Amino acid sequence: MGDSFSTASSFTVKGSEFRYWSLPQLGKQYDISRLPFSLKILLENLLRNENGVDVTRSDIEALCRWDPTAEPSTEIAFTPSRVVLQDFTGVPAVVDLAAMRDAMTALGGNANKINPLSPAELVIDHSVQVDSYGRPDSLDLNNRIEFQRNKERYSFLRWGQSAFSNFRVVPPNTGIVHQVNLEHLARVVFGTDGVAYPDTVVGTDSHTTMINGIGVLGWGVGGIEAEAAMLGQAITMLIPQVVGFKLTGRLPEGATATDLVLTIVQMLRKLGVVGKFVEFFGNGLDNLPLADRATIANMAPEYGATCGIFPVDEESLRYLALSGRSEEQVALVEAYMKAQGMFRTPEQPDAEYSAVLELDMGDVLPSLAGPKRPQDRVLLSEADGNFHHHMHEHHAARRQPLEAVRHRRAVITRRGGHDAARERPRAER
């Protein structure tokens, strides 16, 4: 790999030394302090993967000189650190890898050389059906039935887990893919073979963005793109615009994360953020637990952004410890992010953004919305009047065709003749 900017550095945490590509070192040559957190992750990705072909010096310079107000025009190659798969698209991906091994064998090559180059994790969710209920052993019984019902499928996945390196399977009845990704799979910072770098991910589900809540840059892709990423292929993308969403204050009593996210969705859809990154900042983050951050990040597909990311801070570290990450992993995340100048603190100056929205969370009120149209938010205090208003409109719309029929009958009756007799009630004929 190239290092034309001479940014390769090292740091030590808990007695272990790690190499990394230093953004502060690059900052001596370019003013990158104004870059949003999400673009600093992209910048490190380019520095680490610079090879003069896929990632060139000019690509890195273009990101260093990012113009927040310019329309995206510069194409870069982003290489995600890992891939997360749910079973609907993950199983076909493993089938493709197996087919590649068969092809390699047919050509006389070493089939064991066919492996994911990036860590790939397949989470089997939404699989266990309710065949048994109301018994103390129902959960265990349903699990057993699931394995019996799909024995061939699970045998194949078990083979894949043992045959491929960099590939593991999370069994059914563990949790939904996004929950497992957040609670167990996310590293936030990798420390592989003595090299430290940010955890970035693509997944075969649009709501992969939930992981943005813990500071991991990632989004949903199609199965073909996920397979390409598994095999080490970079994802081509334009350097995006980044919309900053400033949060201040704290949620009032009675308001929930759902009320907050519905308010945010409505504001972002009104602005228009399709194809853009959204990044949350502001001192309100001090009052926002990680579960609420994940809820907001999860809704990125609903407000139309590529991602909705939160920076790494003390709350991120608390969550990592709470969810069972090792002391060494938590220490690595903290040391790396601080070394890169990417660890959020209350006194940190704001980055530059393509546009900025601001919300005082103290102004958020309880509200509701339908599951398919979260942008059509209605305040709970106005729900009764809103319901009656729409019921009135509905009945009025149904009356209009009836009034038209009555008018047509009246016209025909006045004209007389056979048609008039046909239109009169049967009892009058």
Alpha-carbon span 25 to 12, nearest angstrom: 17
Is 374 contained in some domain? Answer: no
Say what the pLDDT of residue 90 is. Answer: 85
* Cα atoms found within 13 Å of the Cα of residue 393, Cβ hemisphere only: 6
| 322: phi then psi, degrees, rounded to nearest 5 | -60, -35
CATH number at residue 253: 3.30.499.10
Asked if 202 and 160 sit in the same domain, the reply is yes
Say what the pLDDT of residue 2 is. Answer: 80
Asked if 327 and 390 sit in the same domain, the reply is no
Q: Can you tell me the mean pLDDT for 209-227?
A: 95
Query: Model confidence at 399, in pLDDT bands (50, 70, 90)?
Result: low
Say what the pLDDT of residue 390 is. Answer: 65
Is 71 contained in some domain? Answer: no
Mapped onto helix, strand or coil, the DSSP state of residue 137 is coil
Is 198 contained in some domain? Answer: yes
Asked if 361 and 387 sit in the same domain, the reply is no
Asked if 305 and 400 sit in the same domain, the reply is no
Ranges of beta strands (E only) in 207-330 are 217-220, 235-238, 242-248, 277-281, 307-309
Say what the pLDDT of residue 426 is. Answer: 46
Asked if 104 and 196 sit in the same domain, the reply is yes
Answer yes or no: are the C-beta atoms of 273 and 304 closer than 8 Å: yes
Residue where a domain stops, chosen among 311, 330, 365 = 365
Residue 5 has pLDDT above 90, yes or no: yes
Residue type, 189: V
Answer yes or no: are the C-beta atoms of 220 and 207 closer than 8 Å: yes
If DSSP states are collapsed to H, E and C, what string results for 170-198? ECCCCCCHHHHHHHHHCCCEEEECCEEEE
Number of domains making up the chain: 2
Query: Model confidence at 423, in pLDDT bands (50, 70, 90)?
Result: very low
Is 16 contained in some domain? Answer: no
Laid out side by side, the sheet with 189-192 consists of: 8-13, 16-21, 195-198, 189-192
Q: Can you tell me the mean pLDDT for 295-310?
A: 97
Q: Can you tell me the mean pLDDT for 171-193?
A: 95
Say what the pLDDT of residue 173 is. Answer: 87
H/E run at residue 167: strand 167-170
Query: Model confidence at 377, in pLDDT bands (50, 70, 90)?
Result: confident
Asked if 159 and 299 sit in the same domain, the reply is yes
Residue 415 has pLDDT above 90, yes or no: no
Tell me the C-alpha to C-alpha distance, in Å, between residue 308 and each of 35, 59, 97, 131, 195: 16, 24, 32, 38, 27
Residue 32 in tokens: 């990158």
Residue 179 has pLDDT above 90, yes or no: yes
Alpha-carbon span 219 to 307, nearest angstrom: 6
Asked if 268 and 413 sit in the same domain, the reply is no
Asked if 320 and 203 sit in the same domain, the reply is yes
Tell me the C-alpha to C-alpha distance, in Å, between residue 274 and each of 218, 229, 271, 298, 302: 16, 23, 10, 15, 10
Residue 143 has pLDDT above 60, yes or no: yes
Say what the pLDDT of residue 408 is. Answer: 67
Asked if 402 and 257 sit in the same domain, the reply is no
pLDDT digits (tens, 9 = 90+) for 241-300: 999 999 999 999 999 999 999 999 999 999 999 999 999 999 999 999 999 999 999 999
Residue where a domain stops, chosen among 365, 396, 412 = 365
Is 13 contained in some domain? Answer: no
Residue 401 has pLDDT above 70, yes or no: no
Say what the pLDDT of residue 160 is. Answer: 93
Laid out side by side, the sheet with 217-220 consists of: 167-170, 120-123, 82-86, 200-203, 217-220
Mapped onto helix, strand or coil, the DSSP state of residue 309 is strand
Asked if 388 and 344 sit in the same domain, the reply is no
Rg of the chain (C-alpha set): 28
What contacts 60, CB < 8 A, 6 or more positions away? 5, 43, 46, 47, 50
Q: Can you tell me the mean pLDDT for 80-91?
A: 91
Q: Can you tell me the mean pLDDT for 116-135?
A: 92
Query: Model confidence at 379, in pLDDT bands (50, 70, 90)?
Result: confident
Planar angle of CA 139, 142, 147, nearest 5 degrees: 125
Is 68 contained in some domain? Answer: no
Asked if 345 and 421 sit in the same domain, the reply is no
pLDDT digits (tens, 9 = 90+) for 183-201: 999 999 999 999 999 999 9
Is 89 contained in some domain? Answer: yes
**132-146, 330-344, 400-414: which has the minimum mean pLDDT?**
400-414
Say what the pLDDT of residue 291 is. Answer: 96
Q: Give the mean pLDDT of the chain.
A: 91
Q: Which domain holds residue 403?
A: 383-428
Q: Can you tell me the mean pLDDT for 134-143?
A: 94
| 307: phi then psi, degrees, rounded to nearest 5 | -150, 165
Asked if 358 and 399 sit in the same domain, the reply is no
Answer yes or no: are the C-beta atoms of 285 and 359 closer than 8 Å: no
Q: Can you tell me the mean pLDDT for 141-158?
A: 93
Please give the residue that has the higher pLDDT: either 112 or 396: 112
Of the chain, the percentage scoring pLDDT greater than 90 comes to 79
Query: Model confidence at 405, in pLDDT bands (50, 70, 90)?
Result: low
